Every structure is written in structure tokens, then in C-alpha cells.
Structure 1
Amino acid sequence: MIIRFIMMTNPKQLAIKDFVYELPDERIAKYPLPERDQSKLLLYRQGNIADHHFTDLPQLLPAQSLLVFNDTKVVQARLLFQKETGGIIEIFCLEPVAPHREVQLAMQQTNSCTWKCLIGNNKRWKSGSLSLHFEGGTLTAEREAQQEGHFLIRFSWQPAALTFAEVLEQCGKLPLPPYLNRDLTPDDRTRYQTIYAHQEGAVAAPTAGLHFTERVLESLKQQEIDIAYLTLHVGAGTFKPVKADVMEAHEMHAEQLYVTRPLIERLVAQSGKPIIPVGTTSMRSLESLYWLGTKVLEQPKLPLQELFVSQWQPYETTSPPDSADALKALLQYMDQNKADHLHASTQIIIAPGYSFKICSGLVTNFHQPESTLLLLVSALIGESWRKVYQHAMANSYRFLSYGDSSLLLP
């Protein structure tokens, strides 16, 4: 049975200080375990907690579950340019601006492109362009404009026939989460990617998926647990701290979402059976699909480029449709626009008071205090999040990106 939730509060008035717990630095997993699937797995099922290993996951999932993965791939988005004086300027690519805003297209761009970026040591970049040499080529960066909180950087490169994805692979560095507070190791290039990572464009990994191995995927098949994939390119905003006293003053980051027609058809066919996302990004994506369907029901002629879920849309819709109706509306909308996939952006915030439309559980790691990810967990299991985190702390679970996992079934 899929659990539905009734909206009880307005999350705009939530105080982030109510979502805090003590996380000692030594409990943050700074490095991955030698074997991906040997992490611990905390099972929360209808108020009860039990300890398992991640290899137990297939046997713990509800029968006839559909497990939905995010197949985004982390790109080497950190670029270190050395000035002639020896100083290092770091440029961190956030999202594309021109000639394409779609990440999938931007990664295949040749010759030149413009991205929204963060710059480290910007004050030392007085003027002119920066160059970064790599085997067989050169990448050049020029500042086009400064905007609130970021810069627009125009990149050009030789050989011009290379794609931007190939350039980043040649001369970029993997962007580890800032809270790891350590240098890259050779292992990070593979271990900070899921084994099913496919669509290049994320600057942070969907870390709930880091525990999966071919062995676990095969075990899922044996348990007749079906799997499906979508793509949400995780942005640096996933680490954005909540500085506002109440959530109404916190602006969620927007992320790009890609889904295919077969996925939406599979979700419709799964109606009435458990749909379990792997990670908060998959959950935000699935729930965003519902709200996109709601939007096209209200605006059938909405242009494709205006497919967007705003932060507070779920809490401002007065008569939300049935989930199957919303998903079928998306399929009809795709037919009308002769589209075999949807590209949209979502700024959705899932917090206590949210009414789940698609998801009935969650596979996820343990998140930072006072984070929007912790709000999402609380939206799913209510105040029990405190009991879950207290148990994890008392039983030596490892926290954050390279940490242990949980299966949350309200």
C-alpha cells in the first residue's frame, strides 16, 4: 500500500534550528569503504528500527517495488588555472548559459561555451584571459560578467573539435563535497560515481547510489524488484546551507531534470504499488513529475521551455489531481509536443507539511544538520527522524556522502 500524507503545516514557517543534531567531525565518513555494498543499512519500517548491511536491501524492500535511480554522472567541474606569477585561480563550473542551457547539450558543445561559475582567488585575476594546458590542447577562460553570487565565464579551447565534456575530462578535477575537507585521491574518480552513472552534468554525486554493486543489482533482479532510471543533474546548491531563520526566506537551488516517456509510462503502470527512489534527488525528481503534470493539466499549451516546478508550488495548489491523472497528462502533453523526453527544471522543496504523490519510501544516506535534505527526511517519516539519527549515532553509523545508508518505509 502506498502511504499518503496530509498537509498539516505550512513549511514556509518552519525554523531550521528545529532540525539540528550534533554531528562530531569523526563521524563524517572521509573515505569510502573498500567495498561499496559493505556499508551498514538502517531499516526504518513503520516506526521500528533494525540494523542490516546494504547487501540485505533487496530482501527488505516491499514486494513489487519499483526502485528509481538517478543516473547522472559527476563531471570534473573544478578547473585550476595557474597565472604567470604562480598564483592559482580556481573556476568551478555550475551550469551552462550559452549556447545551450540544457546540460546534456552543453556537454557536447565544441569550440566554445559560456557557463555560470564560482571563482576562487578572483581578486588576483586582475584582467585578461587565463589559459590551462592539457595533453594536446589548451583551455582559455574569459570573464564576461559578474552577477549576484557568481560569474559568467566564456570558455574556448583547442582542438576546437573536442566536446566540453572531453575538455573537462582532460583538465578538470572532481569536486568533492566541501565537508570532506581533504584532497582528492585516485580512488575518488571511481568511488565518487555510481556504477550506473551515464548522463554527464552533475557537480555532486547522488550519493545514496554509491552503495550499489553489480551483486546488489543482480539480487534485486532475483527478488523481482524492478528498476528504472531518470536524470537530475545535482548542482552545487545541494550543499547550500540554510542561513535564514525560517524556510520562507531560503531560496532553493534549481536543478535540471530529464525523463523519458518509458519512465513515465512505467510510473503509471506502477500505480498502487510501491515506488521507492534511491536518494533525495530521485525523490525530488519523481515528485516534481507530479507537479509538472498538474501544471500542464492547468496549462495544456505551456511551452516546453517553461516546464518548471517552483519552490512553493506544491503548497499553493488548491485542488491537486490524482497522481495517475497528472502523469497521464504529461504523456498527453508529450504527444502534443512530439517529444520523446522531457527536460525541465525543479526548485521543489520537500519539507514537513508536504503531501507525497508518487514516492512511498526512500533509500538515502545520513544528512547534515540544518539542511534541506534533513527536512525532506522529516517530511517522509515525521519526528521519527530524531529517533533514526539517534540510533545511527549510537550504533556507529558513518555519516554524509561516503557514509552508511538507510531504507525509510513510513
Structure 2
Amino acid sequence: MRLCQELDRLDAYDFPLPPERIARYPQPERDASRLLVVGEERFDDRTFRDLPALLVPGDLLVLNDSRVIHARLFGHKATGGEVEVLFERLIGEKEALALVRASKSPKPGTTLHLAKAFTVEVVDRHGDLFHVRLRDDGTLFDWIERFGQLPIPPYLERQPEETDETRYQTVFARHPGSVAAPTAGLHFTEPLLAQLQNQGVGLAWVTLHVGAGTFQPVRTERVNEHRMHAERFVIPEATVEAIARTKAAGKRVIAVGTTAMRTLEGAAHHWGRLRAGQGETDLFIRPGFRFQVVDALITNFHLPRSTLIMLVAAFAGYQRTMAAYRHALAGDYRFFSYGDAMFLPQRYDTDWAPHETH
């Protein structure tokens, strides 16, 4: 019970991170990133291109094929005040939900002139998000892609550059809709994927459009009081069938990234079992969560006090996760979106008794 209470405290997931450990640019080669293999008794320092040696025929990688859109735009209100708009979710050809940063929050009916090119009108507000509607011809997606910026993470502390156009997308990105990359997938190259398939490792796909909530800090000192933003997902029938075959053969379902993890476990949690379909998930995976689908995880090193490190702690166990982060810090690993990766090759016993998740 005491450990349960301790792990419900936000500061349990804090750790000192020197600013120089944040990878502000990607490695010259995607699969040259380092890979920390987190075993039950030891850690193994590898490189990402060693991944094929860690998998066996019949294992299945589940990857998120969402594509990052040019969702960040700058402009002004009709009164002249500057605005920054992040289009988090397109909800039609001419409508979207967006985060709007301005000196004063815009009211319904306010027009926003963006990139000196097109105009949207604020319809209403839903919590942190504003419902906006395009007032020009064409589709909002086309205007965004033509004039918007790629929304690289704020902790990079720089403007997007030409290299980000390719390196802040996975090589298998197909379905546009994310405002942040599924970063565990950034380490894969097309030759590496081909090598994995040639040795009998399966590939399956889900789509989860990553929202701006991935960067939202946890503002409650009690972890269980935090509420996640909902994100849209699609699970194809072929993926469900591939997972069933993998399980039947006694092999591993390996989630590539926390987004793939949340898609699979979120669907199974909300529907009672994994099935094909589409929907939304606001599942908060934290220590005590009962996993139903995923057997192993590939993920990057995440921000202190974030929901993402809590997810890893739920999967690998709190003590093991924090020890892995201490090892990475001592070993000069690179952190966050353009940083290095870790491989949790199996699900371990967690540190405390399960509780209900919302």
C-alpha cells in the first residue's frame, strides 16, 4: 500500500536531466541511434541496427503509420493582435479543433488571418481547444500543408529546418493527422525493415494521430487525478489477425512506441478485447495497469514527470524503469524525440497491486 501511494505522486517520476542531454537534432543515420536493452537483471548497450539480433522469427512489430502535418501557423486577429495556431485535429474539410495562443483568448465569431494567406473563424471553445472553420475556398488541410510549419517539439528550442521535413517523419508514415511524430519509429530505415521481414519478423500497422496533449505537463500532484486528451485511432483487420496468429504461435507482440501501445491497449480496454475498428482513446496507462495485448516495447527516453515515463513504468516496473533511466544518464544516452531508444523485451511484474484506470 505504501508503494502504491508513493507511485501516485508526480515527483516519483522526476529525475535530473542536464540540458545538453536533449537531442536537438537527429543522428546522421536513423538506425545509428543507441538502443538500451532493459533485461530483468541487467542492461545491454547496443545500437538500433542491432534490433534484428534481438528478435526471432514469428515476432510481430506493430508500428504507427500516422504522418505529421504542417499544423503550426502564425497570424493575427482582425484587431491586429498576434496569434499562434496549432491545428490539433481536422474534423471536416473546413473545420478543425486547434490550440490558439494569443494575448487574449478569442471569442466565438473572431476571425484569425493566418500566414497572410487564409482566414478561419472561431466557432466555439471546448476546454483547451477552439473549434474553427475555414472561410476561404478549398480544404483546410490543403491550406495548412501549403503554409504551415512542421510542429517540432518545443524542447528543441529552435525553428523547424529542412532536415526536419524528412527526419521528423517515419519512413512508413502514410496517413496525415498527427501534430507530433511517433518517435520510436524514427529509428527505422527501409533496409532495416526489409531485413527484419526477411528473417521472419512480421510488421503490422495501426494509426493513432498524436495530439498536442503528448506535450502537456501533468499539473496534478496526484497522478490519478490527471486526465488524458483523447486521440483518434484506426486498427485494421489485418493487424488484429496478425496479432492473433502471433499469440497462437507463442511469439511476441512488440509495440513500436507508446502510441502503438496506447492504440492496442486502449482498444482492448474500451471494447473488452482487441478488434478492428476506429475510435478515440484517452487511456492513461500508469503503474498498476493490466496489459492485454503487448508483450514487448520499443520506446525513446521521455520527459521527467510525463505520462509517457509512467507508461513505461507500468510496463517494465517502476524500479526497473528508473534504474534504466539512471543507466542512460550515466552512459551519455540522448533523450527525447531525436534521441536514443530502449527495448523492453518482455513484460515484467509491476511493483505494486493493480488499480482501476480511467
What TM-score does the superposition give when structure 1 sets the normalisation length? 0.78
Alignment partner, residue 306 of structure 2? 371
Aligned pair 1:16/2:4, yes or no?
no
Q: Which amino acid aligns with 2:111?
A: S
Alignment partner, residue 4 of structure 1? none
**How has the CA–CA distance of structure 1 residues 122 and 342 changed in structure 2, closer, same or farther, with 3 Å as cutoff?**
farther
Range with greater deviation from structure 2 (387-396 or 120-129) = 120-129
Aligned pair 1:286/2:267, yes or no?
no
Alignment partner, residue 346 of structure 1? 281
Distance 2:118 2:182 in 1: 28
Distance 1:407 1:128 in 2: 48
What TM-score does the superposition give when structure 2 sets the normalisation length? 0.89
Aligned pair 1:27/2:21, yes or no?
yes
Mapping 1:253-332, distance limit 5 Å: 253-271=229-247, 272-294=250-272, 326-327=273-274, 330=275
Q: Which amino acid aligns with 2:118?
A: L
**How has the CA–CA distance of structure 1 residues 128 and 83 changed in structure 2, closer, same or farther, with 3 Å as cutoff?**
closer
Distance 1:93 1:11 in 2: 38
Q: CA RMSD in A?
A: 2.4
**How has the CA–CA distance of structure 1 residues 13 and 377 changed in structure 2, closer, same or farther, with 3 Å as cutoff?**
closer
Q: CA deviation at 1:133?
A: 5.8
Distance 2:332 2:3 in 1: 33
- Return the match for 1:238 from 192, 203, 214: 214
Q: Secondary structure at the match of 1:270?
A: helix
Alignment partner, residue 75 of structure 1? 69
Aligned pair 1:148/2:152, yes or no?
no
- Return the match for 1:165 from 138, 141, 144: 141
Range with greater deviation from structure 2 (40-49 or 11-20) = 11-20
Do the aligned residues in 1 keep the contact of 2:297 with 2:345 (CA within 8 Å)?
A: yes
Percent identical pairs in the alignment equals: 40
Q: CA deviation at 1:274?
A: 0.4
Q: Which amino acid aligns with 1:386?
A: M
Distance 1:351 1:120 in 2: 30
Do the aligned residues in 2 keep the contact of 1:9 with 1:352 (CA within 8 Å)?
A: no
Q: Secondary structure at the match of 2:150?
A: coil
Q: Secondary structure at the match of 1:123?
A: coil
Distance 2:153 2:193 in 1: 26
Distance 1:191 1:166 in 2: 22
Distance 2:52 2:167 in 1: 22
Distance 2:115 2:184 in 1: 35
Larger relative contact order (C-alpha < 8 A, sep ≥ 6)?
Answer: 1
Distance 1:43 1:399 in 2: 15
Aligned pair 1:44/2:38, yes or no?
yes
Q: CA deviation at 1:71?
A: 0.3
Q: CA deviation at 1:273?
A: 1.8
Q: Secondary structure at the match of 2:135?
A: strand
Q: Secondary structure at the match of 1:350?
A: coil
Q: CA deviation at 1:144?
A: 1.8
Q: CA deviation at 1:288?
A: 1.8
Q: CA deviation at 1:130?
A: 3.1
Deviation track 1:113-150 (CA, whole Å, cap 9, x = no partner) reads 2x22221224296985233467xxx4211122244323
Distance 1:74 1:164 in 2: 15
Alignment partner, residue 219 of structure 1? 195
Q: Which amino acid aligns with 2:196?
A: L
Aligned length: 342
Aligned pair 1:405/2:338, yes or no?
no
Deviation track 1:86-136 (CA, whole Å, cap 9, x = no partner) reads 75321111224xxx4xxxxx3xx2xx32x22221224296985233467xx
Q: Which amino acid aligns with 1:198?
A: R
Gaps of 5+ in 2: 347-358
Q: Which amino acid aligns with 1:94?
A: E
Give 1 or 2 for the bigger CA radius of gyration: 1
Do the aligned residues in 2 keep the contact of 1:11 with 1:352 (CA within 8 Å)?
A: no
